[in-house]
Amino acid sequence: MSSIYDQVMSYMEGKWVALAVALGTYLIGFTTSSKRTVNGVVVEDVTLDYGALVAGPVAIVMAAMIAWKLSKRETIWGNRAVHYAILAGIVAIGTYHFLTSGFFF
């Protein structure tokens, strides 16, 4: 019986799941916003996107796990560089989501 890791993290299907997680926050978001005013002037506007805050790191971790598993294989279907390029794109999207989630600003 195979583990959940082997089912989800196969190098072919897992990268598409990670890409769906990374791009899913463009479609589905859970955002909170608050404003603070002084004498009718907005002095603080805080927006936090929880979807991007969670999905960004999840996509990065999934891509790293897939890359690690991919590096352990002796032979794979297709060009290894193409798979790593797709995984690098997923990491870039996940990092962008995490940094623009509003958590740091």
SS3 24: helix
Q: What is the pTM of this model?
A: 0.71
SS3 3: coil
SS3 34: strand
pLDDT bracket for residue 5 (50, 70, 90): low
- Long-range CB contacts (< 8 A, 24+ apart) of 32-38? none
Q: What is the pLDDT of residues 79-95, one digit of tens each?
A: 777 788 888 998 998 89
Q: What is the pLDDT of residues 69-78, one digit of tens each?
A: 777 766 555 6
Kindly write down the DSSP assignment for every residue of 40-95, as one continuous string. Answer: TEEEEEEEEEHHHHHHHHHHHHHHHHHHHHHHH-S--SS-HHHHHHHHHHHHHHHH
